[in-house]
Structure 1
Amino acid sequence: MSQKLSLIPFYIESFVEPLAEIPQGVTMSQAPEIWDRSEKGKGVVVAVIDTGCDSRHPDLKDRIIGGRNFTDDDQSDANNFTDYSGHGTHVAGTIAASLNGQGVAGVAPEADLLILKVLRKDPVTGNFSGTYEWVIQAIDYAIEQKVQIISMSLGGPYNHPGLHAAVKRAISKNILVVCAAGNEGDGRHDTTEFSYPAGYNEVISVGAIDFEKRSAYFTNSNNEIDLVAPGMNVLSTYIGGRYAQMSGTSMSAPHVSGALALLINLGKKEFERELTEPELYAQLIKRTIPLGYPKTLEGNGRLALALPEKVAEVFGPLNMTNTRYTP
């Protein structure tokens, strides 16, 4: 099959010297405001299906519980999931970089990461891409490992039946699947750009905004966008123990993956049971704020994890339910 899934284009804005701070994207998502009640995502396993990860990075080495290489990099060594791009390492850091007093912290700084490498550098084009079969194998492996969340910042224009079936298998096992919406947008809400797997109704499709809460010029618009999160100049971990600011919906999706790790633990406390995938989706959408853009650009709005508590302070407990947006 000639079609391939590719790394959703992203932009390295700058490299940053070692520091000790909570990135602006994490604070804008209001994650620190619910860390205590959500145990910072402790015990929740997130599968990061991407370009691999720098497992020696000081902010990630304690978060990675395992990994697997599905590509033909490094002589197809299944145990070598080295990241040669930096993309997967950046995504992993936004989800769960440790709160260790150095570097950066992720949205869920005590969640666990399972690194599944499916994208490698094409020797001809130089682009990072992978076969549909590698991605499908990684999804099935994540299911076998009983992860609670799958995060994918990759995509392609081809609606592959096997990929869709794999996503459905994950959902049937109560796994939340989070995907970057794609960076083929033209800044208009009345045109449609689809990337898969983000285009499947079963997944949580995440678009990008900047820190001024403006829609990113590159973010895809379509009727499957569920919400938006920070995706411009996002600070996170990078290969070689470094840190970088990057832009793209690839940076937005991991904010939501980390948020769901927090909501899984929060849900257990509030409801005294494990919530189902649809219930966790409703809890996520309950924590969004509309920005005034059409739904094709922002879905239900921007991620705001502490919203119910803030509303309750003013108006009393918030009681609302949400379902997936269907145009």
Structure 2
Amino acid sequence: MVIGKQAERVDPLSEFTGKGVKIAVLDSGVNVYHSHIDQELGGLAFRVNREGGIELHEDIRDYLGHGTAVTAVMRQMAPDAEILVGKIFDEKLACYPSVLAEAIDWAVEQEVHIINLSLGVNRNHQVIEEACAAAIEKGVAVVASYNKQTGLLWPANYPGVFGVRAGEVPRMEWQLNALNNFSACGFPRELPEETQIYNIHGHSFAAAHFTSWLARLYEKQERKTVQDAMSYFQQYVS
């Protein structure tokens, strides 16, 4: 297989805003009062109770800041997209595979167009793989970050999932590395030039940037299934 456009920046679709696109952000929740959010967002939190079952509650407050930073990227890059919050992390950036799978299933039930997973695990979990496959089968795009250095390769490695890592890519653009494998900007929000070097950086935010770009693509083409997105990217693969 020969991959085209590997080092070429593609159309940023800067005139679109993600209007009409619904995104589920499965992360540590969100601080709706943060200046980068400043919007009431709906959603649910998922956790394992003492009996080992998964329970749902409405407290989606972010005690870690990760979900807020990821969501802030989308608020900036796709400001008119509708964001639904699925809180799966609480006191640390870790959860049971069954919790993530349950949240993916819930997002599909909410009829989202894109699920953003700014996260990764170091081995395959069948329950997560099945949840991703079911989402894709129903036309929902799943975007996941990955980190080769640490071995956090799933769910980005699952068939049909858009895997994204941080790279030297301008904001609002992406770079194709291989089929369903992309690089995107790894910075959350732009800082003044002299302080940009101190900004946090990572693969989580690359996934958020790619999700934002995909939302703008969906708005442009007025078709909002993962199969439509895959057809679009096929033009860059030869």
Q: Indicate whether the TM-score tops 0.5.
A: yes
SS in 1 for 2:147: coil
Counterpart-to-counterpart distance in 1, 2:56 and 2:199:
30
Does residue 136 of structure 2 align to residue 159 of structure 1?
A: no
Matching residue within 187, 190, 207 for 1:253: 207
Counterpart-to-counterpart distance in 2, 1:56 and 1:34:
27
Give TM-score, length-normalised by structure 1: 0.59
Aligned CA distance change for structure 1 residues 322 and 211 (closer, same or farther; 3 Å): closer
Deviations 1:241-294 (A, max 9, x none): xxx9321100100001011111111012xxxxx2542221342x37xxxxxxxx
**Counterpart residue number, 1:54:** 31
Aligned CA distance change for structure 1 residues 70 and 223 (closer, same or farther; 3 Å): same
Does residue 181 of structure 2 align to residue 226 of structure 1?
A: yes
SS in 1 for 2:115: strand
Aligned CA distance change for structure 1 residues 89 and 147 (closer, same or farther; 3 Å): same
Aligned CA distance change for structure 1 residues 266 and 225 (closer, same or farther; 3 Å): closer
Give TM-score, length-normalised by structure 2: 0.79
Counterpart-to-counterpart distance in 1, 2:63 and 2:179:
31
**Counterpart residue number, 2:103:** 138
Aligned CA distance change for structure 1 residues 69 and 275 (closer, same or farther; 3 Å): closer
Which amino acid counterpart does residue 153 of structure 2 have in structure 1? Answer: S
Does residue 189 of structure 2 align to residue 235 of structure 1?
A: yes
In structure 2, list runs of 5 or more residues that go unmatched: 1-8, 50-54, 172-176, 192-197
Equivalent residues in 2 for 1:70-219 (5 A)?
A: 70-71=46-47, 78-95=57-74, 97=75, 106-121=76-91, 127-182=92-147, 184=149, 193-210=151-168
In structure 1, list runs of 5 or more residues that go unmatched: 1-27, 98-105, 122-126, 186-192, 214-221, 238-243, 269-273, 287-320
Give the deviation of 1:131 after TM superposition: 0.6
Matching residue within 208, 213, 217 for 1:263: 217
Which of the pair has more CA radius of gyration?
A: 1
Counterpart-to-counterpart distance in 2, 1:279 and 1:202:
12
Counterpart-to-counterpart distance in 1, 2:138 and 2:71:
23
Q: Select the structure with the greater relative contact order (CA < 8 A; seq sep ≥ 6).
A: 2
Which amino acid counterpart does residue 34 of structure 1 have in structure 2? Answer: S
What is the RMSD computed on CA atoms of the aligned residues? 2.9
Alpha-carbon contact 1:46-1:113 (below 8 Å) kept: yes
Alpha-carbon contact 1:207-1:225 (below 8 Å) kept: no
Which amino acid counterpart does residue 81 of structure 2 have in structure 1? Answer: A
**Counterpart residue number, 1:190:** none
Alpha-carbon contact 1:234-1:251 (below 8 Å) kept: yes
Which amino acid counterpart does residue 168 of structure 1 have in structure 2? Answer: A
Which amino acid counterpart does residue 280 of structure 1 have in structure 2? Answer: A
Aligned CA distance change for structure 1 residues 181 and 224 (closer, same or farther; 3 Å): farther
